[in-house]
Structure 1
């Protein structure tokens, strides 16, 4: 496993890190709960990750019980042996949309304290503001959320502060607005086979001194043999291209997922790539994806990019998630 310094922090992150959203069964191949068998599976997956050099774990309150399950998986490992990252601002995935977001000062403080208690730890290595563009006004992030996190950083409960967004432009906007030091950015599905727009911003982020975290190299399930979950918002032409690319890879005896992870995680312009892993087998396969490709795999990678993905000129699904959320809120208001 290779490691890179995350921005100007002292976090030496593996180039491939563990995304624990999978523990909330967001994806088709996940099935986690509190049965003894499932809990042992969580422990085994985490132990497998450690054995292969993965020591960076990312989670969030939004992912249902994922924090609790990850805490169980990490319980038998020394706190100093891993980096723990979680988030604030987005909550209650199984509740009404009116309860999904809260970027207030008080809720930010309480959320961090709740996470500390769940993990039975005195500090979180990196706390991130989860999809801050969903705030009614970005000024709340500047005037409440960031000051709350900075206070916690000064207290030693939080070591570093990061921001997450579907929008690369929003990440840039908040970095410009914030008088408080932001240490990292996390971007979803913007350095994948189907969307490389993160690379248009890496020089800017580097110049701002922030670490660059790339998330979802499989484009949230799109670039897999299983296919995307029902909630996936990619347009149909992108889904079609992914299906055709997967069929082509299979005809050549190559895994699309392997190519996708290799393409993202070996890019030297980012610090670490987060991917969810729902089994020990997948942990092994994902780490193996970091190895040099053979000649057939190299050829297929170039071919599927040229034939299926580059012609799309895809830049992500933009504000689709935000638009959907606001429609739900408006519908809720009209019904009440």
Structure 2
């Protein structure tokens, strides 16, 4: 197996930022592995492999996955695609909290958003033993010698969050202190619970989905100042708000928070796009740059299904206005387009 199927010369690695004082450094743009786990629709093995190769060639060195993504398919594909790369030159994160187990009654297809067979189900387990089993099984699926960053995945209920604070994260901290993993944290769509994680555990990093974007900045009220105060890191995902900010021309059928965007949200997104154009950039480029500009944010991770999507996302980093980003932020604030959302 060759290290890369790309015939184009690899770019220099992107700049990196360190997670706390762990020595783990993430490239400023990360590869989100949910889509190569067949999120919403299938992608074949060759295309998934080509997407990872293209990410490497674009300088991306941070790759995120999870057992949940395609009930292990994303982890297997990512591990295989990275197997020929120098291990110390890339960072992989995965997650705990969902163990993969055979269903008592197999389904024809998965019922949780992934186009994969339905023979395996997800068992939520935020216990210490569940965490240890999950890490071991991720290592087996990826074939990697270590997982550099481990997040507790979506502890959405009060009970799950409580167990995350008292069992799951302390177990991950033990693994970190033993040198088994490099950095630990939690990831979810809600900023308030992640603030509790930062204040009540020794987590290094949180993965914040959708709550700090060009459209809405509610995380400025809780998790982001907590991260700055305590010297912790934030990985920003969902910065396109379910695709609403992913294109310069905002379509009528755009989604926001995984649903059809209402008219007032569409109007706000189009105002943002118009302002970006006036400053010589695009809405998606500004969405990535805005998240990266916060002092706590070390990386923006985007889902990338094909080499073409990789190239398009990597190109966004080069769309900075001639006079820099700050005049655009100031203009948006003056127009009332930057606020808590």
Mark yes or no: TM-score above 0.5. yes
| Equivalent pair of 1:191/1:198 in contact (CA under 8 Å) | yes
TM superposition shift of 1:91: 5.8
Matched pairs, number: 304
Mapping 1:29-44, distance limit 5 Å: 31-33=41-43, 38-44=44-50
Aligned to 1:192, which of 213, 218, 225? 213
Mapping 1:263-282, distance limit 5 Å: 263-282=290-309
TM superposition shift of 1:58: 0.8
Structure with bigger strand share is: 2
- How many Å separate the matches in 2 of 1:6 and 1:238? 37
| Equivalent pair of 1:187/1:214 in contact (CA under 8 Å) | yes
Using a 3 Å threshold, how does the CA distance of structure 1 residues 190 and 247 change in structure 2: closer, same or farther? Answer: closer
- 3-state SS of paired residue (1:132): coil
1:131 is matched with which residue?
A: 154
| Equivalent pair of 1:18/1:275 in contact (CA under 8 Å) | yes
Deviations 1:56-76 (A, max 9, x none): 111111211221222222222
2:27 is matched with which residue?
A: 14
TM superposition shift of 1:10: 0.5
- How many Å separate the matches in 2 of 1:120 and 1:242? 45
- How many Å separate the matches in 1 of 2:197 and 2:321? 42
Mapping 1:18-29, distance limit 5 Å: 18-26=31-39
| Equivalent pair of 1:18/1:277 in contact (CA under 8 Å) | yes
For the aligned residue pairs, the C-alpha RMSD in angstroms reads: 3.4
- How many Å separate the matches in 1 of 2:255 and 2:81? 25
| Equivalent pair of 2:55/2:310 in contact (CA under 8 Å) | yes
- 3-state SS of paired residue (1:289): helix
Deviations 1:206-255 (A, max 9, x none): 22221221112212322124765697058625642366358758997964
1:258 aligns with 2:266: no
- 3-state SS of paired residue (1:185): strand
Using a 3 Å threshold, how does the CA distance of structure 1 residues 146 and 246 change in structure 2: closer, same or farther? Answer: closer
> Greater CA deviation, 144-153 or 61-70?
144-153
Using a 3 Å threshold, how does the CA distance of structure 1 residues 147 and 4 change in structure 2: closer, same or farther? Answer: closer
Mapping 1:204-219, distance limit 5 Å: 204-219=226-241
Mapping 1:135-214, distance limit 5 Å: 136-178=159-201, 181-200=202-221, 201-214=223-236
TM superposition shift of 1:270: 1.5
1:244 aligns with 2:270: yes
Structure with bigger helix share is: 1
| Equivalent pair of 2:30/2:60 in contact (CA under 8 Å) | yes
Which structure would you say has the larger RCO, counting Cα contacts within 8 Å and 6 or more residues apart?
Answer: 1
TM superposition shift of 1:109: 1.5
1:333 is matched with which residue?
A: none
Using a 3 Å threshold, how does the CA distance of structure 1 residues 24 and 255 change in structure 2: closer, same or farther? Answer: farther
- How many Å separate the matches in 2 of 1:113 and 1:3? 28
Deviations 1:1-50 (A, max 9, x none): 322112222112111111111223436xxx544xxxx3222222212211
2:18 is matched with which residue?
A: 5
Under a length normalisation based on structure 2, what TM-score does the superposition of the two structures give? 0.75
- How many Å separate the matches in 1 of 2:86 and 2:195? 36
Mapping 1:277-296, distance limit 5 Å: 277-294=304-321
2:4 is matched with which residue?
A: none
| Equivalent pair of 1:6/1:184 in contact (CA under 8 Å) | yes
1:81 is matched with which residue?
A: 89
- How many Å separate the matches in 2 of 1:163 and 1:251? 36
> Greater CA deviation, 302-311 or 81-90?
302-311
- How many Å separate the matches in 2 of 1:260 and 1:24? 25
